């Protein structure tokens, strides 16, 4: 155990101070203030002080069909996207990691480019591709195969599917890179040792590769769930939450309440609910990881 | 080293102090007072002027030249900035107001002005603006800028329009000719409008090319698209005192039922439940749509393209037993309550509402002037497009003005789209919208 003198300890704290000040000012402080605002009636256009109303904002939210639909849509989005991205990312990573594949760098770049592209820009591109116009790109492609035009983003049945598809395409490269790192970290000796036994590919995958990738999977699971809960840009750009409430998610509702309706109290209440939902999910996932 | 550090610290502190000390105001140049005010106005100042929207090349350049002409005439310098609609200017303005540092003159989208007035964030314009300017405002604007509510602002002008922003029907004459349908006149009824839309839907030979045409492109995404039809049936969003929802009425439901027919009959393009108007405009330009309902700037954009001078017609909103309505949603001037130079901002406002300024803005940007005197200018008076929109303005009607207007817009959009998707019946739609609007009103109290 290293024993530091008082003077040394003071020095350490001094080094921590700038980061602590920044964290407190820009993250911890606003977070606490947001908790407080969620218990208040506060309009963005007023310079009056927030009025304390207790849990009214929360009670109003739970009576609001828009909020309940947003919760349902966010859950659907998360439950569809996270397994899809994790599975797809693992598959691509294993493919690229395979000794049979050439030009690995080229594939890595191809899969990673969407991740570093601007979400606003790609959302606009998808909006154009999936326009409901009969002569729009995707409908023209379908027409070539004799399929009738689809209303895509303007249809309550399709809009969420397109948003999931876009998010999957965008996120796949990130998951692939992390999984690739995990695969490369598995010592070659393990596979060499196993190769002495008569073990087939699928068994190797389920008994060796996947268990050794568990920490990577848990990390991706947590971060991807957090990301999915915060889905905003593609919804805002492509559908504004419509048609009807088909694509309204928690963060788009938060934005609408806070910045369009100036109802910062209710917007903060949604933020607090998202915070606790994610905290709970992270704790559960963490416990599963320990098991 | 320590001495050097201490010296450096002292010098830095002194410099910071000097930098933070307000510079001495230059000697004011006294100008005659603005009408209605007693004190002479200091013209040796720089005022800030922020415009929500107005960022298209033509609009921005025109406004800049008007602002420069104002500076040349009065000596008041103006720091002019535009905030594109895509960048949510209202949020920026709200934040600036809460932060206590906002421009002296703002252009905002109505009814945002009303929301700010409810919070006491705008200055009453009556003490700054001349009676002549007020009397010169086009029909609907003479009353719509007046605030009705509790507090000091009740009965006072809180906003003035930059232009007369309303919507009316415009059409593609080539499609009408191909379908053998007579061009609409100002007296057409809603039945005739629907019937013509059906006749104009189908396969037609336009300009030597076979086209699939939709009679009337409309979108359930925008309240401006369906509200005029509902108003024509006597439907209203709120009760007269704005205290409760009125959407569960027979009149409202009759209007919605009429609007739904465009979708059920397939006369509007597929996906119109949530289609952008810009996308429908592209279809209109491609001879795939016979009629649209939008603002005059859309018409101006169309007319910039070759051949459209002869092909484009501007009609009138159809009427229901003589009742016709058009949706008004103009961008308006406001002076924030915390403006540093309200009198100088009012001078700029009056300058921009002057006949010559309004004519210049209308000529370049295409919007209908907000003042009657500008309508007499030959360039406007002889322009059939401007006249058609000015006529529509006479039947103009504003959206519900309450603090939760934005919430109501979302509710109406969500519900009408759900109705179109077949997720609810008309009665369920109206009852649900009523309950949700009432909840929004209660929450906003």
Of A44, A154, A155, the CB nearest to B98: A44
Residues 6+ apart with CB under 8 A from B88: A259
Shortest CA gap B275–chain A (Å): 6
- B314 and B228 share a domain? yes
Rounded to two decimals, the pTM is: 0.82
User: Which residues of chain A make contact with B432, given a CB cutoff of 8 A?
Assistant: 65
User: Which residues of chain B make contact with A153, given a CB cutoff of 8 A?
Assistant: 271, 274
Instruction: Count how many domains chain A has.
Output: 1
Q: Which of B381, B397, B413 is the last residue of a domain?
A: B397
User: Which residues of chain B make contact with A64, given a CB cutoff of 8 A?
Assistant: 439
**Of A58, A242, A256, A267, which to mutate for an interface test with B (greatest number of B Cβ within 10 Å)?**
A242
Instruction: Identify the helix (H) or strand (E) that includes residue B195.
Output: helix B190-199
Domain that holds residue B155: 2-166+330-397
**Strands of B77-83's sheet, edge to edge?**
B77-83, B46-52, B105-109, B331-334, B160-161
CB atoms within 10 A of CB B61: 12
Instruction: List the Cα angle B35/B38/B41 in 5-degree steps.
Output: 75
- B336 and B411 share a domain? no
**Mean pLDDT by groups of 10 residues along chain B of 445 residues:** 50 46 44 53 91 85 95 95 88 87 93 85 90 85 79 86 89 96 90 96 92 95 95 95 94 97 95 91 94 89 90 93 89 93 95 94 86 90 88 87 88 94 93 94 83
- B145 and B292 share a domain? no
Taking CB atoms and an 8 Å limit, are B94 and A65 in contact across chains? no
Widest CA span of chain A, in angstroms? 80
Task: State ipTM.
Answer: 0.80
Shortest CA gap A48–chain B (Å): 9
Q: Which residue of B has its CA nearest to A69?
A: B414
User: Which residues of chain B make contact with A261, given a CB cutoff of 8 A?
Assistant: 404, 406-407
Classify residue B100 by burial, with Cβ atoms within 10 Å: 0-12, 13-18, 19+.
Answer: exposed
**Which of B119, B439, B120, B95 has the alpha carbon at shortest distance from A56?**
B439
Taking CB atoms and an 8 Å limit, are B279 and A131 in contact across chains? yes
Q: Is residue A151 part of a domain?
A: yes
Q: Which residue of A has its CA nearest to B282?
A: A133
Shortest CA gap B263–chain A (Å): 13
Cβ–Cβ < 8 Å for A228, A78: yes
User: Which residues of chain A make contact with B436, given a CB cutoff of 8 A?
Assistant: 65-66
Residue B21 — left, alpha, or beta (φ > 0 → left; ψ -120 to 50 → alpha)?
beta
SS (H, E, C) B92-105: HHHHHHHCCCCCCE
Instruction: Count how many domains chain B has.
Output: 2
Domain that holds residue A232: 58-290
Q: Is residue A199 part of a domain?
A: yes
- B149 and B261 share a domain? no
- B372 and B298 share a domain? no
CATH of the domain at A247: 1.10.3720.10
- B102 and B61 share a domain? yes
- B179 and B309 share a domain? yes
Taking CB atoms and an 8 Å limit, are B417 and A43 in contact across chains? no
**Which of B201, B124, B270 has the alpha carbon at shortest distance from A158?**
B270
User: Which residues of chain A make contact with B439, given a CB cutoff of 8 A?
Assistant: 60, 63-64
Taking CB atoms and an 8 Å limit, are A156 and B98 in contact across chains? no
- B120 and B218 share a domain? no
Residue-level pLDDT at A291:
67
Q: How many CB pairs under 8 A join A and B?
A: 107
CATH of the domain at B107: 3.40.190.10
Q: Is residue A276 part of a domain?
A: yes
- B99 and B228 share a domain? no
Residue-level pLDDT at A1:
58
Q: Kindly report, residue by residue over A80-91, the tens digit of the pLDDT.
A: 999 999 999 999
Distance between CA atoms of residues B134 and B130, nearest Å: 7
Tokens coding A21:
């000040």
Residue-level pLDDT at B28:
43
Shortest CA gap B68–chain A (Å): 31
Helices B405-420 and B250-264: crossing angle in degrees, nearest 10, is 50
Residue B266 — left, alpha, or beta (φ > 0 → left; ψ -120 to 50 → alpha)?
left
**Of B274, B405, B422, B423, which to mutate for an interface test with A (greatest number of A Cβ within 10 Å)?**
B274
User: Which residues of chain A make contact with B95, given a CB cutoff of 8 A?
Assistant: 44
- B276 and B412 share a domain? yes
Of B283, B413, B423, the CB nearest to A133: B283
Instruction: Please identify which residue in the block is written with the tokens 């409008």.
Output: B193
Residues of A contacting chain B (CB within 8 angstroms) = 43-47, 60, 63-66, 131-134, 149, 151-156, 159, 239-246, 248, 256, 259-263, 266
Residue numbers of chain A with a pLDDT score lower than 50: none
* Dihedral sign computed on CA atoms, order B421, B424, B428, B434: negative
- B220 and B280 share a domain? yes
Shortest CA gap B335–chain A (Å): 15
Phi first, then psi: what are they for A108, rounded to 5°? -60, -45
Residue-level pLDDT at B445:
75
SS (H, E, C) chain A: CCCCCHHHHHHHHHHHHHHHHHHHHHHHHHHHHHHHHCCEECECCCCCCCEECCCHHHHHHHHCHHHHHHHHHHHHHHHHHHHHHHHHHHHHHHHHHCCCCCCHHHHHHHHHHHHHCCHHHHHHHHHHHCCCCCCCHHHHHHHHCCCCCCCHHHCCCCHHHHHHHHHHHHHHHHHHHHHHHHHHHCCHHHHHHHCCCCCCHHHHHHHHHHHHCHHHHHHHHHHHHHHHHCCCHHHHHHCCCCCCCCCCCHHHHHHHHHHHCCEHHHHHHHHHHHHHHHHHHHHHHHHHHHC
Classify residue A290 by burial, with Cβ atoms within 10 Å: 0-12, 13-18, 19+.
Answer: exposed
**Of B111, B114, B275, B410, which to mutate for an interface test with A (greatest number of A Cβ within 10 Å)?**
B410
**Of B221, B225, B263, B270, which to mutate for an interface test with A (greatest number of A Cβ within 10 Å)?**
B270
Taking CB atoms and an 8 Å limit, are B436 and A243 in contact across chains? no
Residue-level pLDDT at B149:
75
Distance between CA atoms of residues B384 and B399, nearest Å: 27
Q: Which residue of B has its CA nearest to A44?
A: B94
Of A44, A60, A256, the CB nearest to B94: A44
Residue-level pLDDT at B6:
52
């Amino acid at each position: 155990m290293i024993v530091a003198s008082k003077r040394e300890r003071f020095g350490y704290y001094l080094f921590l101070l700038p980061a602590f000040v920044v964290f407190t000012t820009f993250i911890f402080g606003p977070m606490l203030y947001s908790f407080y605002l969620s218990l208040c009636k506060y309009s963005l256009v007023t310079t009056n002080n927030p009025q304390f109303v207790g849990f009214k904002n929360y009670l109003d939210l739970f009576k609001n069909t828009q909020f309940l639909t947003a919760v349902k849509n966010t859950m659907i989005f998360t439950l569809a996207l996270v397994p899809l991205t994790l599975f797809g990312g693992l598959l691509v990573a294993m493919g690229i990691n395979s000794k049979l594949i050439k030009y690995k760098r080229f594939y890595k770049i191809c899969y990673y480019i969407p991740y570093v592209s601007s979400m606003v820009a790609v959302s606009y591109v998808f909006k154009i591709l999936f326009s409901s116009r009969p002569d729009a790109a995707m409908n023209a492609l379908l027409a070539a195969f004799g399929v009738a035009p689809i209303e895509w983003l303007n249809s309550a049945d399709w809009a969420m599917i397109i948003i999931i598809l876009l998010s999957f395409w965008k996120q796949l490269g990130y998951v692939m890179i992390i999984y690739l790192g995990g695969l490369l970290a598995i010592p070659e000796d393990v596979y060499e040792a196993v190769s002495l036994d008569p073990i087939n590919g699928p068994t190797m995958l389920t008994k060796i590769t996947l268990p050794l990738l568990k920490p990577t999977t848990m990390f991706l699971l947590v971060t991807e769930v957090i990301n999915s809960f915060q889905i905003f840009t593609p919804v805002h750009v492509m559908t504004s939450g419509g048609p009807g409430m088909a694509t309204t998610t928690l963060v788009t509702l938060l934005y609408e309440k806070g910045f369009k309706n100036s109802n910062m109290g209710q917007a903060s209440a949604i933020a607090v609910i998202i915070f606790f939902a994610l905290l709970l999910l992270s704790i559960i996932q963490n416990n599963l990881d320990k098991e | 080293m320590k001495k050097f550090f201490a010296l450096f610290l002292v010098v830095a502190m002194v410099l910071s102090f000097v930098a933070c000390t307000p510079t001495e105001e230059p000697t004011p140049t006294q100008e005659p007072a603005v009408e209605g005010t007693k004190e002479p106005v200091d013209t040796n100042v720089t005022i800030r002027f922020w415009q929500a929207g107005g960022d298209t090349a033509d609009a921005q350049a025109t406004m800049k030249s008007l602002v420069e002409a104002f500076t040349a005439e009065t000596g008041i310098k103006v720091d002019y900035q535009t905030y594109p609609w895509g960048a949510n200017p209202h949020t920026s303005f709200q934040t600036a107001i809460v932060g206590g540092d906002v421009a002296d003159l703002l252009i905002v989208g109505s009814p945002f002005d009303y929301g700010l007035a409810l919070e006491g964030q705008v200055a009453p314009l009556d003490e700054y603006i001349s009676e002549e300017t007020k009397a010169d405002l086009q029909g609907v604007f003479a009353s719509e800028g007046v605030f009705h509510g509790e507090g000091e602002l009740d009965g006072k002008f809180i906003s003035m329009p930059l232009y007369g922003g309303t919507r009316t029907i415009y059409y593609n004459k080539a499609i009408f000719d191909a379908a053998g349908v007579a061009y609409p006149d100002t007296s057409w009824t809603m039945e005739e409008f629907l019937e013509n839309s059906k006749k104009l839907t189908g396969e037609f030979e336009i300009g030597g090319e076979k086209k699939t045409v939709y009679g009337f492109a409309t979108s359930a995404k925008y309240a401006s698209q369906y509200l005029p039809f509902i108003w024509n049936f006597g439907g209203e969003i709120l009760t007269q005192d704005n205290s409760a929802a009125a959407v569960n009425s027979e009149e409202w439901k009759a209007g919605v039922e009429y609007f739904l027919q465009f979708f059920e009959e397939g006369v509007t393009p597929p996906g119109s439940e949530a289609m952008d108007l810009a996308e429908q405009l592209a279809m209109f330009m491609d001879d795939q749509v016979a009629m649209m309902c939008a603002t005059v700037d859309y018409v101006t954009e169309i007319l910039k393209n070759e051949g459209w001078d002869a092909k484009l017609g501007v009609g009138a909103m159809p009427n229901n037993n003589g009742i016709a309505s058009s949706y008004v949603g103009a961008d308006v001037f406001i002076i924030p309550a915390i403006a540093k130079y309200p009198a100088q901002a009012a001078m700029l406002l009056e300058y921009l509402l002057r006949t010559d300024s309004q004519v210049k803005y209308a000529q370049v940007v295409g919007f209908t002037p907000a003042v009657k005197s500008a309508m007499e200018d030959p360039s406007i008076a002889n322009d059939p497009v401007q006249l058609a929109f000015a006529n529509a303005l006479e039947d103009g009607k504003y959206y519900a003005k309450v603090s939760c207007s934005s919430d109501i817009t979302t509710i109406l959009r969500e519900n009408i789209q759900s109705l179109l998707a077949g997720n609810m019946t008309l009665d369920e739609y109206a009852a649900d919208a009523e309950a949700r609007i009432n909840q929004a009103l209660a929450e906003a109290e």
